[in-house]
Chains A and B, each alone.
Chain A
Amino acid sequence: NARSAHACSKPLSVSFFPCRMQRAPVLLFLAWTCFLFFSAIGLFTSGFLLMRVELANHSSCSDALASPFRVDFGSCWLPRRFSRAILLIIDALKFEFARFDPSLREPHPYENKLGFLHELAIGQPRYGRLFRFRADPPTTTMQRIKGFTTGSLPTFIDAGSNFASYAIQEDNLVWQMAQNGKRVVFMGDDTWDGLFPGAFFRSYFFPSFNVKDLHTVDDGILQHLYQTVDGGEWDLLIAHFLGVDHCGHKHGPDHPEMAKKLSQMDEVHCLTTLANDTLLLVAGDHGMTGTGDHGGDTEEEVNAALFVYSKVPLFPAPPEPQTVPQVNLVPTLALLLGIPVPYSNIGEVMDDLFATEGDTATSVLAQLAAYNVNARQVDRFLHTYSLAAQDIPAEKLGRLQSLFSATVEEHEQVMAQAGFPELPQLERLRGQFRRYLWEARAVCAESWARFHPVRMVSGCALLTSSCLLCYIASRVSAGLSFSYRRLLWYPFLWGAAGAAGAGAMHLSGVATTDLLLLCSWAATASQVGFFWHCWAGHAGRSHAASARLPFGGLGLRQRLRVGLVPALGILLLRCGAMFSDSFVMAESQVVPFLLMSSVLLFVLGLHWNGPLREGSTKSWWLLGFLGIIVLTARLSGLFQQCREETPACRSSTLLAPLSKLQDPQAKNLSYALCLAVLASLAWGMRCWMRHYGNLNSPSAPVCFVRWGFPLLALGVGGFWAVTSGSEDDLAKLHAWVQLALVSFPRGVFALGAVGLLLLLCDPVTVFVRDSRNADPAMGAPIVSPSSQAELLHVIPQLYRRMQETLRSRLDAGKDRDRATVEAYGLGSVYSAALLIFLALLGFLLMMLHSERLSLAFLLLFLEAFALLWMQAYAVALSSSTSSSESEMFCCVNAYAVLLLYCNVFHPPLFSHLAPGSIYLVFLALHSICITFQINWFSSYQFSSLSHRWTTTQIAVGCPLLLLWPFLCEMPRSKGGKPKAEVSDREEQMMEMRLREAPEKFSAALLQLGLKYQIVLGAQLLACVLAAIILRRHLMVWKVFAPKFLFEAVGFVVSNIFLLLGIGLVMRVDCAVSAWFKRVILAQSR
């Protein structure tokens, strides 16, 4: 039987598995690579972004921490020593800047400039003193401000904080002052405005972002400072000077400008004419490196200066050089001013400032009182924190607890003693308090305030090797000799063994590990397994077919020449752009630029290689789609959202919801436009399905497309109408409006869910017309299949017969009676299912976004489809199969660029994370786009593959397959036919060809998924490297870290949706198999 000699039974494939669509292994392999990437991301993140849980508790005056003491009016916890304080913060005031050494012959520009500090410290040693002020890393201004107002060690992400604003949620000095009826006046850096919105009694903010601007902030402060001080309407006055820091960034510390700036700072010595009840503090928030940068944890960066001065004697003993941790400022200032210590403080009081006049014992007793309050507060905090989070090891907490209780108990005993306690005992007690507080801070610092370089580097290495693995796997899967047993199951076993080993180590107590480490051990082990098996297989095969080598050197050069270079170059440019903060900030311009470049390069390369020269209609279509892509890319600039770093830029007004629009006419117009977008989505979907014949199918999803989509559009439109109307218009219908506001979204989401379920249950959208008058001339009747293998052979026959009947109908319309089975829409089952899914998601997303962003969605859909069509025509034009791979790479690349493109709508900024959840869903949409494209593309790629493949079959001598190249060629030769019909026919064959050789289909799917992962993974790797290398950069927490986070989250979400999309394709494939079986059974009866 000649007909049974189907391709599947031919020994061409080297696969170990029978000729069957490998659904589960493909999905599993992709899931495994996803797992590798995810664990790498997790490992890096755990080393780079240290998390801390923010507690919402606030201290209050009535807390019973200092009950034994009688506290006079106006003070809390301890009697206050000062009623007012001036805190002058000079940004980046390094200790070396503040020190004055008259013996220096040739001082550097930054030395010996702050003379007044020196005069005071030397002239009045008991009134003023200079300290080394040790900042905790990260030494960036915002983290430092947080540090010395809350008394805690802020990390980059303080979990629990509100991402929409930078405002400090934790208990802090400013809040406590305001709470206790004190007036806080602020002037200077406007970062404080974001951190403490509305907390100040009076404030003078000056813009801080422009690093090049040395004078605005300082001049502004000096202009207001003296009259404010003289006015007397303040209890705490904070002035934050920025000039020194900006001068460091612009010129570096060793520059004459720095000398000028520091001399200007010296002007504030007028403030030293204080009242007796006022404390003056001059502090630097961090130091700077030799190049003027800061952010890291080197000695130069953490060494700032602190100067304390008052008109009453403060210090009992002559000065000795002292180092004070920065957080110590918080409890000291709080207790000196008589307010509660902020709840999350872990600082220690500066005991010198609590000493009293008189003999040493009384002085130490007073200090002990302060220590007691401080230790109780720290213990309370540690207790609450350990309940909220588990990141501080329990045994350390236990040790601290026992030390605390012993010390406090002893203190109570001493206080309860009748007589006057002895000095050595008191001093020992003081030492114990100090030790407790010091250890508590050390424990916290260890778990919060440090990068883990080992974790960072190993995460980065894991990411790199995952990218490499994806590359190798994609090369191997292209060679069709992909063995899932060797390359998937064995690595699984390796990974399991690795995880088990790590787990055993953990259980036996050799090394501690957590879930993340366990995952990364498993990932590493399975990667090693993969590479080992791959290498072994490669070595085993290398003497055999050298042409089939996965990483042969011969193919590489050709590939490089053909078209990989532009695609790879664009990708490299994109990755390189991650390393510059300017490029990251200008991303909304850079991405369209690169997208435009890549598509233009693609078309120019096509022209250079020849296929465009014919001047055929296909070339014109191609150029038309190119135009659409380029135009939509440019038009999307209309929806630009600005970053706060670029003050000149203005965000697009289209982003605002319609309800903010004043002009009723403009409002109506935009509303109509949005409705048009909704209608066009529903209608376009319908048209597409009608065009490909899927619309006649009686299946449930088609019904949903017919009736559900208009309903969805109606629901979304109604919801927009309600939300965009102004309040007073609808005042009478208030109840109804409330009902509509709830019911519309619920209805839309319910409808969407129903559609999704229907799609999953019955994804085959094919209309079958069964006419019984079969013509015997068509060939032998199809035998009823008896086994699975035979069934597989029958399916293509059946399909071919359908094709033949179709063709004969087209060729000569009169021969209607020859048709046996007519299946409409069979050629586009896969695409139809994915498209329905895509449109559904589109509706749901539009619902979540503000109204006018639906226009952006339209642009996005247009662009995606134009890219797909361009790709399709390009493949149709270039008949050679060698270049198809690189083209695909280029296109996937272009798509990945497109994916990043949504940054235009949502730049990676934490303050813009308010619509963050939407951003994620948006990403999801993109990924679906990509899977859709991958599927679509694989059909095209496959067509060329099978083309070549059939020619080899002819050589083998299978007469039946002669039909195939003919069918392939026919639509192309008929150039005069209407375009739609040609593409229709091609399309119909294309997707069914996928079923002809399932193992190639699955290989193509796997390969595309892997390539997509490579492209995204390379970008992620660039982000990670940028974050590692530039962790000392000024912009690391402002630009690079958010960029990394967004990129990582985007990667995770898009990969999950990649898996979902491929899973949907597999589901459709299953359903189509079942459908074929049904049809065949019906036929044979």
Chain B
Amino acid sequence: MKDTEIKRLLSANVICIFSIIITTVLPSLFLKNFSLLGTHLTWLCICSATVGTVNVVLHIILNPNPSSRRSSLAHKVARFLRSCVYFFMSCILFHGIIVLYGAPLIESVLETFLFAVLLSTFTTLHCLCLLGPNIHVWLRVFSKNGAMSIWDNNLQITSMCSVVGAWLGAFPIPLDWDRPWQVWPISCSLGATLGYVSGLLFAPLWIYWNRKKLTYKSR
């Protein structure tokens, strides 16, 4: 049973990776002057939107956490609205944290915010899809021995990788190489994306290697 789960996870992750690759390649066919570095903001929007949509669709198709009880439409709508609010709040929170880390406060607000949206897409959106709008469950999952399925492990690894990638992306900014990708926030968003992709690749592998050790309590 576990192996099939891992296969499902892997296929889902591979689809995510493909969606990211497509967002970097495909728009140049439709949009004039599109390039990853030159029109970075456009790419940020496209990438966030695509990854978000793909995640939601994948979640609906694969449905990793099938809930037993059926909920009413009103309940579903409320859940959806709450999720939207949560996502927006996480964008704001990420924006705040980025500014506290040293990003300019007033100049390039749009860039910072779009970067925050990208980070939220990589982390919060996953949480929302998988765990629902429930902070306590999130906090539980993001702690030692908190994962209850391989999906939770996957969530831990990808989120951490994207955040660490964004953090590492800040390192080349002060260097005096005068490269176009050293401009805020390009290196950070690229770092986050690369981190996310490597997390997507690494998570199934890690789970596969540790499949003997991973025992999950039932919910």
Query: Could you tell me which A residues sit within 8 Å of B by CB distance?
Result: 212, 580-583, 585-586, 589-590, 592-593, 596-597, 607-610, 613, 630-631, 633-634, 637
Per CB-CB distance, the 6 closest pairs between chain A and chain B, nearest first, are A586-B174, A582-B175, A582-B176, A582-B174, A634-B100, A630-B100
In the complex, are the beta carbons of A634 and B102 less than 8 A apart? yes
Q: With A212-B178, A582-B174, A597-B167 given, is the CB distance from A634 to B99 under 8 Å?
A: yes
B214 sits at the interface (CB 8 A): no
**Can you spell out 5 A-B residue pairs with CB atoms less than 8 angstroms apart?**
A589-B174, A593-B101, A613-B143, A631-B100, A637-B102
Q: A608 near B142 (CB under 8 angstroms)?
A: yes
| Interchain nearest-CB distance for B184 vs A (Å) | 12
List chain B residues, Cβ under 8 A from A613.
139-140, 143
Instruction: Select which of A580, A593, A608, A634 is within 8 A of B175 by beta carbon.
Output: A580
| A878 → chain B closest CB, angstroms | 13
How distant is the Cα of A608 from the Cα of B99 in the complex, in angstroms?
Answer: 24
Count how many chain B residues have C-beta atoms less than 8 Å from C-beta atoms of the other chain.
15
- Contacting residues, chain A, for B32 (C-beta < 8 A): none
Which chain B residue shows the least CB distance to A604?
Answer: B142
Q: How far is the CA of A592 from the CA of B99 in the complex (A)?
A: 12
CB distance from A628 to the nearest CB of B (A): 12
Partner of A593, one of B102, B142, B178: B102
Please, how many angstroms separate the alpha-carbon atoms of A630 and B93 in the complex? 14
Q: Which residue of A lies closest to B178 (CB)?
A: A212
* Contact yes or no, B144 A609, CB < 8 A: yes
CA–CA, A125 and B167, complex, Å: 65
By DSSP majority rule, is chain A's interface helix, strand, loop, or mixed?
A: helix
Q: CB-CB < 8 A to A609: which residues of B?
A: 143-144
Nearest Cβ on chain A to B145's Cβ, whole angstroms: 9
Closest to B105 in A: A634
Task: Tell me the chain B residues, 144-185 only, with Cβ under 8 Å from chain A.
Answer: 144, 167, 170, 174-176, 178
The residue in A580, A613, A633, A637 that gathers the most chain B C-beta atoms within 10 A of its C-beta is: A613
B139 near A583 (CB under 8 angstroms)? Answer: no
User: Using Cβ atoms and an 8 Å threshold, which residues of chain B touch A582?
Assistant: 174-176
Of the residues A580, A581, A583, A596, contact of B100 by C-beta under 8 Å: A596
B76 nearest CB across to chain A (Å): 28
Contacts of A597 in B (CB 8 A): 101, 167
Contact of B139 among A580, A581, A607, A633 (CB under 8 A): A607
List the A side residues contacting B176 at CB < 8 Å: 581-582
* Nearest Cβ on chain A to B166's Cβ, whole angstroms: 12
Q: Across the two chains, which residue of chain B brings its CB closest to A591?
A: B102
Taking the closest CB of chain A, its distance from the CB of B214, in whole angstroms, is 17
Residues on the B chain within 8 Å of A607, using CB: 139, 142-143
A589 to B142, CA, bound (A): 30
> A633 contacts which chain B residues (CB < 8 A)?
100
Inter-chain CA distance A596–B103, complex, in Å, is 13
Q: How far is the CA of A849 from the CA of B168 in the complex (A)?
A: 37
Within the complex, the shortest CB–CB distance from A209 to chain B, in Å, comes to: 12
Closest chain-B Cβ to A1054's Cβ sits at a distance in Å of: 25
Chain B residues whose C-beta falls within 8 Å of the C-beta of A586 in the assembled complex: 174
Instruction: Enumerate chain B residues within 8 angstroms of A596, measured Cβ to Cβ.
Output: 100-102
- For residue B99, which residues in chain A have a CB less than 8 angstroms away from its CB? 634
Q: Is A592 a contact partner of B143 (Cβ separation < 8 A)?
A: no
- Beta-carbon nearest neighbor of B96 in chain A: A630
- Minimum distance in angstroms from A574 CB to a CB of chain B: 13
CA A597 to CA B98, docked complex, whole Å? 11
CB-based nearest A residue for B177? A582
B175 cross-chain contacts in A, Cβ below 8 A: 580, 582-583
Bound Cα distance A459, B144 (Å): 45
B82 to chain A, nearest CB (A): 20
User: Which residues of the partner chain A approach B139 to less than 8 Å between Cβ atoms?
Assistant: 607, 613
State how many angstroms separate the Cβ of A826 from the closest Cβ of chain B. 39
Kindly list chain A residues whose C-beta atoms are within 8 Å of the C-beta of B142: 607-608
Q: What are the residues of chain B within 8 A of A590 when measuring CB–CB?
A: 174
Q: Is the CB of A593 within 8 A of B143?
A: no
Q: How many whole Å from B143's CB to the nearest CB in chain A?
A: 5
**6 other A-B residue contacts (CB within 8 Å) besides A589-B174, A593-B170, A613-B143:** A582-B175, A583-B175, A593-B101, A596-B100, A608-B142, A609-B143
